[in-house]
Amino acid sequence: MLPVSADPLSILKTVYGYDAFRGRQREVIEHVIAGNHAFVLMPTGGGKSLCYQIPALACPGIGLVISPLIALMEDQVAALRQAGVRAAALNSRLFGAEKDLLWRDIERGELKLLYMAPETLLQNLDRLKSAHLCLIAIDEAHCVSQWGHDFRPEYRALDGLAALFPDVPRLALTATADAPTRKEIVEHLKIGTQNSFISGFDRPNIRYGVAEKNSATQQMLRFLEPRRGESGIVYCLSRRATEDVAATLLAHDYTALPYHAGMEMRERDKNQRRFQHEQGVIMVATIAFGMGIDKPDVRFVLHVDMPASIEAYYQETGRAGRDGLPAEVLMIYGAEDIALRRRFIGESEAPEARKRMEHRKLDALLGFSESCQCRRQVLLRYFGDDCEACGNCDVCLDPPATFDGSIAAQKLLSCIHRTGERFGQAHVISVLLGESDERIARLRHDKLSTFGIGQEHDRNAWRSIVRQLVARGLITVDVAGHGGLHIPPEGRQFLREKPPLSLRVPKKGKAERKGARRETSDVVPNVDRALFEKLRAKRLELAKAENVPPYVIFHDKTLTEMAARHPRSIAEFAGIPGVGEAKLARYGQVFLAVINGHDMTPS
């Protein structure tokens, strides 16, 4: 194991090979080293893991990391060992002497980082009490939330850690949590609101796109063609669709593998391992796949069916471009996707309150899908964040056809106001369309001035307008209640001022923007592409020999820096971001030989 300094910046350089922290990393790290708890929200790829790994390396004792899936643990452990750190995972794959040896290391304090699933932790709490823990990190902490898209009952039991280890700093970390979920995490895990570090949700390297579904197979193939040879994920709604799409891609000469909960575990694990250990593999999957993946070089995520919510969409698309290099995501959806999602919600055995919540979350995703505003602005606003128009989404790059919807918005807002701001969209739209029924008559809403004033649009158009105004922040939905539409201050200001309002015209059969493949030179200039490919080939050769995923040796971003800078000596190679001392000693001469051999080859 490398000798470790107590200085966070020194650890960052010697172990990880970076010269400076990003965002609020240093602030969080120093806060935890000082013995404080922390709730950390950072976008995927923002460096959350360093917020607990570096304090664990800086402080005496073992850093305990609670992580939901074995694959995710093993990925992080492999990467840490490559960097010279004593790390291990205690999970159901360990038996007999191997497990006994690990417990010996734990009890002797010979590890710096120990990974466990919550189930394993709960089964071993008594034994862990004798270990010297310097911190407890709860990764993917949104799994605590009963209302979240990824709720796991075992995470609820983690609230007992506060009493069992009262003097050990606790960190809860996530990339996906809206305001109610954040509040629930902090309260349930007894973190304290004063210990929150919110770094925003923006992933500027991801290009967002949404298209209405007309021919899913052809749209998929058009999207994938310029991305041949890249790693990516295609998400499908059903197991059958997963198998069908994988077969289609194989028939078109892509390396594509299915992954869904109905497969034998051995086959699933085999496919997941190929995706992690090989280059240019496409995983075709249901949402059963993804949380356990720490693969940084996923260059695209394609949803051929609509996900369940903005939280799910954000998390699934967030698996692209974790290395900071350009990545692209596309969601294609149609009326049948919406109907199927609504049917799933209706047929579930969840409590009615949960079903109402899921309908509201689906509506928010539809608002994002139909908005004619910058995708990134709508997405970030949902999480309470904001940004300028990004210039890196389909709306910014290829603005949709729009119409002045100010009159329609005024009618809708007036109808919400006159019906008391307590009814859902179905009732409000019925009033606008002049559709009287027993309830409308009983409430005397057929006598309102807004009854029947919206007949220039049909019900589907009004639904689209509602979703777009929700996306604009002119209407809010009572998510925790019965879905009533409300007018926030921004909506009241709109009613007073009546400014022009551009709304999206529903597209009929318009194809999605195909887009060109974005090169790494968009982020790292002057990249020698031929050298980059040689470095990738050498990395893959080493990874196969060591039985690890290629990215635990070096990320693509580190290879692009090599291919841009052409280091000629060990000293120059040490200056490449991502080259720590252990990797410098282990791989420096190997990769320098590739670079020098390339530079000596006549062009």
Q: Specify whether the CB–CB gap between 411 and 453 falls below 8 A.
A: yes
Indicate the pTM of the whole model: 0.78
pLDDT exceeds 60 at position 451: yes
Residue range 501-520: mean pLDDT, rounded: 59
Beta bridge partners of 503: 403
Would you state the pLDDT for residue 602?
Answer: 64
Pairing of strands 402-404, 502-504: antiparallel
- pLDDT tier, 396 (very low <50, low <70, confident <90, very high otherwise): very high
pLDDT exceeds 90 at position 129: no
pLDDT exceeds 50 at position 513: no
Residue-wise pLDDT for 554-593, tens only, equals 999 999 999 999 999 999 999 999 999 999 999 999 999 9
Rounded-to-integer distance, Cα 227 and Cα 300, Å: 8
Number of H helices, E strands in the chain: 27, 17
Residue type, 42: M
pLDDT exceeds 70 at position 293: no
Between 57-66, 84-93, 328-337, the lowest mean confidence (pLDDT) is in: 328-337
- pLDDT tier, 401 (very low <50, low <70, confident <90, very high otherwise): confident
Residue range 202-218: mean pLDDT, rounded: 91
Residue range 519-534: mean pLDDT, rounded: 77
Residue range 367-380: mean pLDDT, rounded: 89
DSSP states of 531-569? HHHHHHHHHHHHHHHHTS-GGGT--HHHHHHHHHH---S
- pLDDT tier, 287 (very low <50, low <70, confident <90, very high otherwise): confident
Q: What is the DSSP letter of 325?
A: S
Quote the percentage of the chain above a pLDDT of 70.
93
**Average pLDDT of the chain, as a whole number:** 89
Rounded-to-integer distance, Cα 354 and Cα 141, Å: 20
Residue 529: other Cβ atoms inside 10 A:
12
Would you state the pLDDT for residue 35?
Answer: 95
Would you state the pLDDT for residue 355?
Answer: 87
Q: What is the DSSP letter of 279?
A: S
Residue 184: other Cβ atoms inside 10 A:
18
301: region left, alpha or beta (phi > 0 left; psi from -120 to 50 alpha) = beta
Rounded-to-integer distance, Cα 275 and Cα 301, Å: 14
Residue range 64-78: mean pLDDT, rounded: 87
Q: Specify whether the CB–CB gap between 369 and 338 falls below 8 A.
A: no
pLDDT exceeds 90 at position 469: no
Q: Phi/psi of residue 169, each to 5°? A: -60, 135
Between 208 and 146, residue with greater pLDDT: 208
Residue 469: other Cβ atoms inside 10 A:
27
For residue 289, give the nearest of 273, 311, 277 by alpha carbon.
Answer: 273
HSE-CB at 300 with a 13 A cutoff on CA atoms is: 27
pLDDT exceeds 60 at position 400: yes
Residue type, 177: A
Going from the N-terminus, what domains does the chain have, and what CATH number goes with each?
8-198 (3.40.50.300), 206-397 (3.40.50.300), 402-504 (1.10.10.10), 523-600 (1.10.150.80)
Terminal CA-CA length for the chain:
42
Between 336 and 426, residue with greater pLDDT: 426
Rounded-to-integer distance, Cα 358 and Cα 590, Å: 53
Would you state the pLDDT for residue 509?
Answer: 39
Rounded-to-integer distance, Cα 456 and Cα 474, Å: 21
Q: For the chain, what's the residue count?
A: 603
Residue range 55-59: mean pLDDT, rounded: 96
Residue-wise pLDDT for 410-443, tens only, equals 999 999 999 999 998 899 999 999 998 999 999 9
pLDDT exceeds 80 at position 519: no
Beta bridge partners of 197: 40
- pLDDT tier, 271 (very low <50, low <70, confident <90, very high otherwise): very high
